[in-house]
Structure 1
Amino acid sequence: MDFRIKWLVSVLLIFGGILFCTAQERSKPLVKHVVLIGSDGFGAYAFKKAKAPNLRKMMENGAYTLEARSVLPSSSAVNWASMIMGSGPELHGYTEWGSKTPELPSKVIGDGNIYPTIFSLIHQQLPNTKKGASYSWGGIGYLFEKNMVDIDFNGKTDEETMQKAIEFILTEKPSLTFIHFDQPDGAGHNIGHDTPEYYKEVEKIDALVGKILSALEENNLMENTVILFSSDHGGVGKGHGGKTLLEVEIPWIIYGKNINSKGKLESSVVTYDTAVTIAHLLGLKIPDFWRGKPILEAIKYEEK
């Protein structure tokens, strides 16, 4: 009897290992283009008061949660790193608001001499495609492999950042474009979160998202594109980095090709799930040292 049990356990372990390895292999891509839009300091609570017709269009015709969570501390560099590195600070090592290099030694160092981001996966597995970042906060420039992107643009304003990103998308048809907007974080720090000025900046971000959507629709790119909108943190008063839900809960909205039009998601989402979901959509092999998971509830699969 003991022998049979040991044999059965061995078979199950081997079978489970095969399934795990298979899950890590490259799969069929579900989309050709992904646009990741990040808005700094955009707390999920903002939807209670701000007018955001373009983001709400994505929510209604795609999938979303307003209960996604940042990693701790709920501040900028640590969370932008987590968003594109598929792991939290305990592995990538960026632990502070303005981290330029890891304060904690990264568990893995990739070809770009930092913890591997979604850009490095695309660089290795989709070498013939374009990818890049257009960002308003200069701190983003320390968080990805500059030698692996086709655009590395630090705009002076969110409008300039958006325009450069649209030019890149329309000209190069990239597999991934990361667009970072600096607002409403500036208003949150200088004037305060949950103020009229803060919500005015939220509405400006929504308008920029609308321009991106229009550009893609007018050029027939939405037929094979997914847009994912999220943030690094929310805020209370004029600060961030705390452990309240107002600071930690962020929006996570996904819309486009092969995305379920189901509205609110039941899945628990952490910001490092973003990179893994993008990798899954692009059919990339996901490294076993990443800690995120693809949000499969949001994805629509073709029936065989």
Structure 2
Amino acid sequence: MRTRATVLLLASVLALPTTPAPASAVPSPGAPQPVTRTADPATGSVLVISVDGLSPRALTQLGRAGAPHLHRFLRQGASTRNARTVVESTSTLPNHTSMVTGRRVDASTGGHGVTWNHTAQAEAETVHRAAGEHVDSLFTTLDAAGAESAVFVGKPKFRLWQRSWGRTIDRMTVRRDDARLARAVRRDLRRHRRELRFWHVATPDRAGHRAGFRSRRYLAAVEQVDAMLGRLLRTLRRPGLRGTVTVLLTSDHGAHAGRSHDDEATRGNQRVIFAALGPGVSRGADLYALNSDHRRAPGRSQPGYDAEVPPVRNAEVANLALDLLGLPAVADSEINAAQDLVLTSP
């Protein structure tokens, strides 16, 4: 039986007022169609955490003493340290947009079209204009089902999401201070009933760009994220929250060396963590072992979208979260569109 739970994904997202695309540029989606549940939800809420620039290598370097909460998260849940980004990019905005649409990047083959990663362009565009068609998302699907979502992000470029999907996101909080942002997430968990929260943590990426992704400053940033995760997990043990939330943890890209992660052909940039912790999730399980019939560990490669058996990708998040909530996949999505990624053994 497929596990369903509340998913938390730390991720990058921000909000800006929207400049509508010309009517001729993007086809109208027409009236939104109501979305109905395909199964009973196994949880009441999902928290997705995307840690910007989190390299699996950093966890090895820090060990359990340096990153106790991250290591405990992986030990107590279902996880892999060998998941992959989308094929076309190891940059922040393209990968995060795939995480909420379940689409590849390349618009000519059905992707969302967000190939750029700059705030200035993000503030002048919408996802629909980039794709040349209306693009549904995790947020529009939840809204059509009468469910609520909230986004907490540390970079202004993610205002693209609010420009694109507007009021279907019930709360959008953009703060450059990750410690304040973390407190806002914990407060929202205590005070509001929502089906989904998306939390983006920017600290490691900023440190890597400034000092290098193999620097002591970068590792210190990962230690800060570990402390934030520890406080979050304590909040989730409070009465009223205990046993109701499943956290999904991943990243938009890894980091190989130097101060850049732009080369999508470099394995260190492609390789990310994907982990889940929550009610019903198999304890200490390897995601590839749980999904051996339909996911295959990629070794040192980056399989294409046409791979007979794909790897686990960070962009599985959208349709996994919806599956856990008993909702169908995002319309016209591709990655995990069958919602066959499972988090528990049969």
The residue identity in structure 1 corresponding to 2:343 is A
How does 1:113-262 map onto structure 2 within 5 Å?
A: 115-125=135-145, 127=146, 129-144=147-162, 145-235=165-255, 236-242=257-263, 243-262=265-284
The residue identity in structure 1 corresponding to 2:329 is I
Q: 1:87 aligns with which of 80, 99, 103?
A: 103
Shift of the alpha carbon at 1:189? 0.4
The residue identity in structure 2 corresponding to 1:296 is L
Q: Does 1:37 align with 2:49?
A: yes
Q: What percent identity do the matched residue pairs reach?
A: 23
Shift of the alpha carbon at 1:104? 7.2
Quote the residue 2:303 is aligned against.
none
Query: 2:224 is paired with a residue of what secondary structure?
Result: helix
Query: 1:277 is paired with a residue of what secondary structure?
Result: helix
Please give the alpha-carbon distance, in whole angstroms, between the structure 2 residues aligned to 1:108 and 1:68.
Answer: 29
Query: 1:213 is paired with a residue of what secondary structure?
Result: helix
Quote the residue 1:56 is aligned against.
71
Shift of the alpha carbon at 1:286? 1.3
Say how many residue pairs are matched: 271
Please give the alpha-carbon distance, in whole angstroms, between the structure 2 residues aligned to 1:193 and 1:103.
Answer: 33
Quote the residue 2:323 is aligned against.
280
Please give the alpha-carbon distance, in whole angstroms, between the structure 1 residues aligned to 2:190 and 2:227.
Answer: 19
The residue identity in structure 2 corresponding to 1:282 is L
Q: 2:333 aligns with which of 287, 290, 293?
A: 290
Please give the alpha-carbon distance, in whole angstroms, between the structure 1 residues aligned to 2:172 and 2:230.
Answer: 23
Shift of the alpha carbon at 1:220? 3.8
Shift of the alpha carbon at 1:108? 4.2
Shift of the alpha carbon at 1:147? 1.0
Query: 2:131 is paired with a residue of what secondary structure?
Result: coil
Shift of the alpha carbon at 1:299? 3.4
Structure 1 residues 218 and 300, CA, compared in 2 at 3 Å: closer, same or farther? farther
Structure 1 residues 295 and 138, CA, compared in 2 at 3 Å: closer, same or farther? farther
Query: 1:184 is paired with a residue of what secondary structure?
Result: helix
Higher relative helix content: 1
Q: Does 1:271 align with 2:317?
A: no
Shift of the alpha carbon at 1:284? 0.6
Please give the alpha-carbon distance, in whole angstroms, between the structure 1 residues aligned to 2:261 and 2:158.
Answer: 18
Query: 1:68 is paired with a residue of what secondary structure?
Result: strand
- C-alpha offsets along residues 2-58 of structure 1, whole Å, 9 cap, x if unaligned? xxxxxxxxxxxxxxxxxxxxxx97122121111111111112221111222112212
Q: TM-score, normalised by structure 1?
A: 0.84
Please give the alpha-carbon distance, in whole angstroms, between the structure 2 residues aligned to 1:206 and 1:286.
Answer: 31
Residues 25 and 286 of structure 1 are in contact (CA less than 8 Å); yes or no, is this contact kept in structure 2?
no
Shift of the alpha carbon at 1:85? 1.1
Cα RMSD after superposing both structures:
1.9
Please give the alpha-carbon distance, in whole angstroms, between the structure 2 residues aligned to 1:263 and 1:49.
Answer: 22
Please give the alpha-carbon distance, in whole angstroms, between the structure 1 residues aligned to 2:279 and 2:43.
Answer: 6
Q: Does 1:106 align with 2:131?
A: yes
Quote the residue 2:94 is aligned against.
78
Shift of the alpha carbon at 1:295? 5.4
Structure 1 residue ranges (4+ consecutive) displaced by more than 6 angstroms after TM superposition? none
Please give the alpha-carbon distance, in whole angstroms, between the structure 1 residues aligned to 2:140 and 2:331.
Answer: 14
Residues 65 and 264 of structure 1 are in contact (CA less than 8 Å); yes or no, is this contact kept in structure 2?
yes
Query: Which consecutive residues of structure 2, in runs of 5 or more, have no partner in the other structure?
Result: 1-35, 289-294, 296-310
Query: Which consecutive residues of structure 1, in runs of 5 or more, have no partner in the other structure?
Result: 1-23, 110-114
Query: 2:254 is paired with a residue of what secondary structure?
Result: coil
